């Protein structure tokens, strides 16, 4: 019987197999190059320097993340700590990644004096690339009290409320409004108001706000309003009140610009938010707080005794604080009858 000749594969199948073989070889080469990367992502010329992680087996179950960090932080900066319990190994393992190989080596050399496990505790050096990243990894530098407190940088949004002060002899609201609409575009009704010795301007969008910040104009100066661009709310909590204002601000979201603890009212904390909108609730360190509006004391002028402006911005005639007489006498010089009537 004649032997059957092996069937020849189609040319397309052969090309596909060759392509798969070459791609597999390339992926193996990439994997080999990847193994030479340290945890920081820098290619190391010396493979020994990649050993920046300590693996401990049979670690005491009573040790927490903070306790392990306090033991190993003397060797160098600890990037992350992970404790895993594996039923296959019948022991718990701890991975400690340092910033340098020297720090990991120093911890490895003193393994006999470390009180982190029982008599069966073993310490080995390994590469951090062999430890898969996880969101559950403990990053101790975030909670290290020895690190100097540096407040996180908060983004300051563009203000929308501005105060423009006239140049001398140019205090004309109609001229000012026509000039502004010529430079930055039309403004809705009510967005320009007289404000003391200047005008109050509210930008309708971000484009107008950016123009007002850099507008060389007929005014002496244009500045963001000190209070209209922010809103204040109050929260009450006894536990949060024990922290300092800097620590509370660090725990707050980026929308909070300032924190002030009220000494006159127990457990009340004033939060200053960006923008005129006050949130209903705020989450601080896994706790939700109800935000209530904070109403400040009304400003009263002690020249005309009206509300809404101060003595420096008053254009009204002066009055007596006792009898309301116009431009007649000071409050301290009020007549005897009026003085006894009010006091």
Reported as a single tens digit per residue, the pLDDT across 215-266 is 767 788 888 888 788 889 999 998 899 898 988 988 888 888 889 998 877 7
pLDDT band of 336, cuts 50, 70, 90? low
Give residues with Cβ within 8 angstroms of 267, minimum separation 6.
Answer: 236, 237, 238, 241
pLDDT reading at 133 higher than 70:
yes
- Give tens-digit pLDDT for 86-102: 666 666 788 888 888 88
Higher pLDDT, 39 or 113: 113
Round to whole Å and give the CA distance between 312 and 301: 8
Q: Does domain 298-343 have CATH number 3.90.25?
A: no
C-alpha–C-alpha distance, residues 229 and 161, integer Å: 6
Rounded distance between C-alpha atoms, residue 95 and residue 53, angstroms: 7
- Tell me the C-alpha to C-alpha distance, in Å, between residue 66 and each of 78, 81, 187, 329: 12, 10, 58, 71
Which has the closest alpha carbon to 123: 102, 94, 98? Answer: 94
So what's the pLDDT on residue 23?
A: 47
Q: What is the per-residue pLDDT across 272-289, written as a single tens digit (0 to 9) for each?
A: 988 778 889 999 888 899
- 135 or 41, greater pLDDT: 135
C-alpha span between 42 and 34 (Å, rounded): 10
Q: Which of 49-53, 147-151, 230-234, 244-248 bottoms out in mean pLDDT, i.e. has the lowest?
A: 147-151
Q: What is the CATH number of domain 47-143?
A: 3.30.70.330
Give the global pTM.
Answer: 0.48
Share above pLDDT 90 across residues of the chain, in percent, rounded to a whole number: 5
Cβ contact 72:107 at 8 Å: yes
Give the span between the Cα atoms of 106 and 149, in whole angstroms: 28
The more confident residue out of 38 and 231 is: 231
Q: How many residues does the chain have?
A: 343
92 touches 61 (CB < 8 A): yes
Does 302 have pLDDT greater than 70?
yes
Which among 40, 182, 208, 54 has a CA at the least distance from the CA of 116? 54
Three-state SS at 95: strand
């Amino acid at each position: 019987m004649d032997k059957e000749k092996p069937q020849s594969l189609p040319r397309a199948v052969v090309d596909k197999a060759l392509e798969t073989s070459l791609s597999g070889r390339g992926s193996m080469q990439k994997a080999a190059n990847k193994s030479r990367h340290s945890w920081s992502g820098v290619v190391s010329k010396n493979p020994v320097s990649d050993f920046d992680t300590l693996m401990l087996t049979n670690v005491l179950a009573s040790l927490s993340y903070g306790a392990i960090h306090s033991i190993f932080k003397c060797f160098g900066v600890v990037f992350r700590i992970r404790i895993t319990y594996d039923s296959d190994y019948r022991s718990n393992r701890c991975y400690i990644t340092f910033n340098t190989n020297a720090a990991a080596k120093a911890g490895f050399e003193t393994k006999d004096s470390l009180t982190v496990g029982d008599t069966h505790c073993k310490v080995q050096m390994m590469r951090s690339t062999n430890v898969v990243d996880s969101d559950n990894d403990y990053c101790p530098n975030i909670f290290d009290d020895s690190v100097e407190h540096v407040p996180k940088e908060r983004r300051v949004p563009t203000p929308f409320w501005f105060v423009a002060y006239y140049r001398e002899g140019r205090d004309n609201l109609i001229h000012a409004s026509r000039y502004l609409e010529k430079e930055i575009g039309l403004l809705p009704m009510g967005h320009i108001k007289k404000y003391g010795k200047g005008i109050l301007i509210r930008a309708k969008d971000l484009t107008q706000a950016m123009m007002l910040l850099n507008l060389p104009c007929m005014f002496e100066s244009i500045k963001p309003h000190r209070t209209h661009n922010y809103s204040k709310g109050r929260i009450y909590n006894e536990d949060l009140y024990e922290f300092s204002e800097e620590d509370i601000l660090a725990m707050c979201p980026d929308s909070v610009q300032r924190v002030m603890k009220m000494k006159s009212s127990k457990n009340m904390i004033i939060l200053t938010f960006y923008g005129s909108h006050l949130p209903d609730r705020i989450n601080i360190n896994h706790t939700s707080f109800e935000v209530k509006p904070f109403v400040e004391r009304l400003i009263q002028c002690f020249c005309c005794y009206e509300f809404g402006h101060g003595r420096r911005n008053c254009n009204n005639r002066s009055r007596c604080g006792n009898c309301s007489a116009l431009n007649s006498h000071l409050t301290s010089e009020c007549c005897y009858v009026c003085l006894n009537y009010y006091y």
